[in-house]
Structure 1
Amino acid sequence: MLAILSAFVLAVAGVSVTGSAGASAPGPGETSQRYLVTGPATAQQRSLIARTGAAIDAVRAGEVEVTAIPSEVAAIRRLGFRVSAPLPAPAPVPTAQAATSYHTYAEMQAELNSVVAAYPQIAQKFVAGKSYQGRDIVGLKISDNVATDENEPEVLYIANIHARERLTAEQALDYIGQLTQGYGSNSRITDLVNSREIYVMPMVNPDGQVYDMTSDTQAGRNWRKNRQPNSTSTGTDLNRNFGYRWGCCGGSSGTGSSETYRGTAAESAPETKVIANFVRSRVVGGKQQLKIFLDIHSEAELVLWPFGYTYSDTVAGAMSSDEEATHRTIGRELAGTNGFTPEQSSDLYITDGTTDDWTWGNQRIFSFTFELGGGSFYPPPSAIDTQVARSREALLRLTAYADCPYRAIGKQSQYCAA
């Protein structure tokens, strides 16, 4: 009934149920700006906005901030919501301060090299593949006997899939530091490293990240997508380009200039295919070795779990009641440590083609998203340490669940017995 009602509302508003924007086709020169939309108070109302193709950047009581092109703004107004004049650009960060705070792509690479040099027995750098512009998409494997593929539960944490979400790479790098520096002196960390294979990829959208950090003010370009040209503009939203329920449900856009452009096909973006191929490479002997997946975003202070494409908590053949309860229980526990709000992804608004929906729906890896805090995509450098510290405990707890996520609901003997 809800789907029928949503389709009716969209039809009345002049928004295509299978498309992404209003009746008028966008021009090739359309560019995105940020706006405040007043009125949406429910997941269903926010989903109507997401269906226009606008990227929802922040959610508050009765309003959302979006990044949208003009045709999407017009579609939102036709839905009956109030749209502000464009919001001001992020405040400039002094160049000297910016250069020594958030890691550039080159500095991230140097940081990983430094970690490997300092902790060669537990840290190994790997290149998962190339971006559209030919940059290495790199990561670090952390484990005892790191050069050996042992029969241990594995986790994969990725960050910076959206270029402007700069704090996410800092969280990933901080976790690498937490594990390597604590090994041998902190028994809890030592046990995790000895009994897990932990993969961390701090910048999976390097082209977008480099472009976002290259600006005259050093404040950022508010760039979200990768840098792959499309028929009308540049960039694919990598977090709408994965192959589970791709483009199914109004949670992405088919318009190239949109912030949520889903690409021409699932995995049409090289970066998406690199991530998916890496995940598929961890199927050994017909069994997926990755037990936990985390995609780190900002800046809504949330812990999310699948599915994003449907409001249903359980889905026949795709999310059982025990699987949903395990996701929900772990999510709530993690949120209890960092102060974020725990919810199913679709409780925020409908999305499709996302990392979490694919890693769970296609690969059956227990999957989560963290939306970090900071108040913007570009929190001041002085806020980095405080913000990443909030999720250190959550990351350790999530890694610990890799042996048997069903422990969260007391059913380890049913699902994880040897």
Structure 2
Amino acid sequence: MTPSLASPPPTGDRMRPRRIRGGRATVLAAVLSLALAAPIAAAQDAPATTPAPHGAPDADRAHQYEVTGPATPAERTALTATGASVDEVHARAVVITADRTQAARVRHLGYALRQLPDPPAPARTSGRIKDFPPGYTGYHTYEEMTKEIDALVAKYPQILSKQVIGKSQEGRDILALKLSKNVSKDENEPEVLFTAHQHAREHLTVEMALYLLNEFTSKYGSDDRITKMLDSREIWIIPDLNPDGGVYDIATGKFQSWRKNRQPNAGTKEVGTDLNRNWDFKWGCCGGSSDDPGDETYRGPSAASAPEVQVVSTFVRSRIVGGKQQIKAAIDFHTYSELVLWPFGFTNDQTGPGMTQDDHDTFAAIGKKMAAGNGYTPEQSSQLYITDGAIDDWLWGDQKVFAYTFELFPSSNGAGGFYPKDSVIPKETARNKDPVLQLLETADCPYRAIGKEQQYCKNKH
């Protein structure tokens, strides 16, 4: 998952948690003390680079649990100190992903846990491996994604180009696709970045990226909004930040509920860094990530230590031209919970170093309008719990990009969680066409959203 996840309480009305501005340090200190006292489970027997085969013992594999009791941001932040990830939030309950050790730490805090059903593992109808199981074959594997992208580039070479901007831990290409009327030229136009699939099990995000590529190419010249944006913007799409993790998650035909990348952790059998806790802004600052390589939210040994984060960071910095960052706005796609989130995640404060009240108000105004377009819930990410080292915090805090996180369909584990059936792909990706176009349309002057275009953007017109 990603900075913060929410779903409606049983009444059907999404309850927005009360903001907590004090007492966090005391809570975290208590949790860490208890967590250290909790028994530590045995290390996994399976090799670090291969999923446990069907029928193999996997007592320490992560599962989803419903946790009854946590109701405030401070309590939910305290839960993350156990090493679990928070996947969705209700009025007085949350859903977490945790292995046996982390679940024991949560119980040690006095909470009741109820294990939820594991992701589906349908019987295979063929001997194929490294593919999605029946009911999910509409999702693209990494190879299928690459072939579709290559076909689009060949079909629309005037408006779509492909760059390999680096390699993943296991040597797979990380791609950046550019969409623009004069795609071969670097024009003085506002740039907007869309990224997907930081977390391995969030496969719907790759489909979101592919939807945008198909929609923007096939509708150019016939859809007025799309045509205008490609004529006046440079659009970048990075469709798969974590290809290794995605391949691993489906390699056996049984979803592994894998979150992190596949980077070995020296001195341990544990594998993987949570890419969305590894960005080089407020990395590890505020109790919003873990320093334990076995945890779901392990932030890595140092900021930007994950090769995939290094690749995308370098790419973003390469868009600084004449001392100015050309990327003006961004969306990082995740699943699940149907949220539109904005910085900061590392603090409850609306303002602070690098964030003025006008900045915050602009984030909120644009975020709320986009949420009105897709029916999601809009909020500052720390309203649910604290995170540090997240991409949207880095994009704003380091590069001054108006960056958002979208948590896509569904709203809850019961509606499919991380693994909704492929039948939802067309509807749930198209649902975000209007919000994406809104962000593109405002990218030339985001402050227009709060009526301060003349103050902040007068030199651009």
Q: Offset of 1:32 from its aligned partner?
A: 2.2
Q: State which of 36, 53, 59 in structure 1 corresponds to 2:89.
A: 59
Give the deviation of 1:4 after TM superposition.
6.3
Corresponding position of 2:43: 28
Give 1:256's match in structure 2, choosing from 269, 281, 293: 293
Distance 1:27 1:250, change over 3 A: farther
CA deviation string 1:47-75 (max 9, x = no partner) = 11112221111222211111113332222
**CA drift at 1:41:** 1.4
- Structure 2 counterpart of 1:92: 121
Aligned to 2:153: 116
- Give the structure-1-normalised TM-score: 0.94
Residues 163 and 223 of structure 1 are in contact (CA less than 8 Å); yes or no, is this contact kept in structure 2? yes
- Contact 1:21–1:71 (CA under 8 A) maintained in structure 2: no
Alignment of 1:213-362 (within 5 A): 213-217=250-254, 220-230=255-265, 231-232=267-268, 233-315=270-352, 317-362=353-398
Q: Partners of 1:382 and 1:21 in 2: how far apart?
A: 44
Report deviation, 1:139: 2.3
Other structure's SS at 1:388 match? helix
Q: Which residue of 2 aligns with 1:9?
A: 27
Q: 1:37 aligns with which of 67, 75, 80?
A: 67
Q: What displacement does 1:304 show?
A: 0.1
CA contact (8 A) 1:240 1:261 kept: yes
Are the equivalent residues in 2 in contact too, given 1:14–1:75 (CA < 8 A)? no
Q: Does structure 2 conserve the Cα–Cα contact (< 8 Å) formed by 1:14 and 1:78?
A: no
SS in 2 for 1:161: coil
Contact kept in structure 2, 1:49 and 1:76, CA below 8 Å: yes
Please say if residues 212 and 223 of structure 1, whose CA atoms lie closer than 8 Å, have aligned partners that are also in contact.
Answer: yes
Q: What residue is the counterpart of 1:389 in the other structure? A: 430
Are the structure 2 counterparts of residues 26 and 252 from structure 1 closer, same or farther at C-alpha, using a change threshold of 3 Å? farther
CA pair 163-397 structure 1, distance change in 2 beyond 3 A: same
SS of match in other structure, 2:443: helix
Displacement of 1:97 in angstroms is: 3.7
| Counterparts of 1:25 and 1:243, CA distance in 2 | 30
Question: Which residue of 430, 446, 452 corresponds with 1:411?
Answer: 452
Q: Counterpart of 1:36 in 2: which secondary structure?
A: strand
Call closer, same or farther: CA 1:4–1:323 in 2, change over 3 Å.
closer
- Once the two structures are TM-superposed, the CA of residue 368 in structure 1 deviates from its matched residue by 0.1
Q: 1:353 to 1:229 in 2, by over 3 A?
A: same
Structure 1 156/256 Cα, relative in aligned 2: closer, same or farther at 3 Å? same
Equivalence for 1:205: 242
Distance 1:111 1:79, change over 3 A: same
Fraction of identical pairs, as percent? 50
Aligned length: 410
What is the letter of the counterpart of residue 199 of structure 1?
W
- Say if 1:80 and 1:321 are closer, same or farther in 2 by CA, change over 3 A: same
Instruction: State the AA in 2 paired with 1:211.
Output: Y
- Alignment of 1:373 with 2:409, yes or no, is yes
State the AA in 1 paired with 2:453.
Q
Which ranges of 4 or more aligned residues in structure 1 deviate by more than 4 Å? 20-27, 93-96
Query: Structure 2 CA distance, aligned partners of 1:82 and 1:47?
Result: 17
Deviations 1:219-275 (A, max 9, x none): x21111000111330000000000101011111111111110100000111001111
| SS, match of residue 314 in structure 2 | helix
Unaligned runs of 5+ in 2: 1-19, 45-59, 125-132
Instruction: Report the Cα offset of residue 28 of structure 1.
Output: 3.4
Cα distance per residue 1:141-199 (max 9 Å; x no partner): 00011011111000110001101001111111101111111101112111100100000
Secondary structure, counterpart of 1:403 in structure 2: coil
- Whole-angstrom distance in 2 between the partners of 1:94 and 1:165: 22
TM superposition shift of 1:91: 2.0
Q: Which amino acid aligns with 1:89?
A: D
CA offsets 1:305-357 (integer angstroms, 9 cap, x no match): 00001011111x31100000000000000000110000000012110100011
Q: Is residue 93–residue 380 contact of structure 1 (8 Å, CA) maintained in 2?
A: no
Secondary structure of residue in 1 paired with 2:262: coil
Tell me the SS of whatever aligns to 1:368. Answer: strand
Give the deviation of 1:93 after TM superposition. Answer: 4.7
Give the superposition deviation at 1:23. 5.3
Distance 1:93 1:58 in 2: 25
Deviates more, 1:238-247 or 1:175-184: 175-184
Amino acid at match of 1:28: A
Give, in angstroms, the shift of residue 31 of structure 1: 3.7
The two structures, once aligned, show a CA RMSD in angstroms of 1.8
Separation in 2, partners of 1:13, 1:200: 39
Code of the aligned partner of 2:70: P
Contact preservation (8 Å) 1:69, 1:257? no
Change (3 A) 1:69 1:22: farther
3-state SS, counterpart of residue 15 of structure 1: helix
Cα distance in 2 for partners of 1:351, 1:387 equals 26
Q: Distance in 1 between matches of 2:333 and 2:122?
A: 23
Q: Distance in 2 between matches of 1:225 and 1:64?
A: 21
Tell whether the 8 Å contact from 2:263 to 2:271 is kept in structure 1 after alignment. Answer: yes
- Distance in 2, matches of 1:201 and 1:14, equals 36
Q: Distance in 2 between matches of 1:363 and 1:397?
A: 21
| CA separation of 1:269 and 1:416: change in aligned 2, threshold 3 A | same
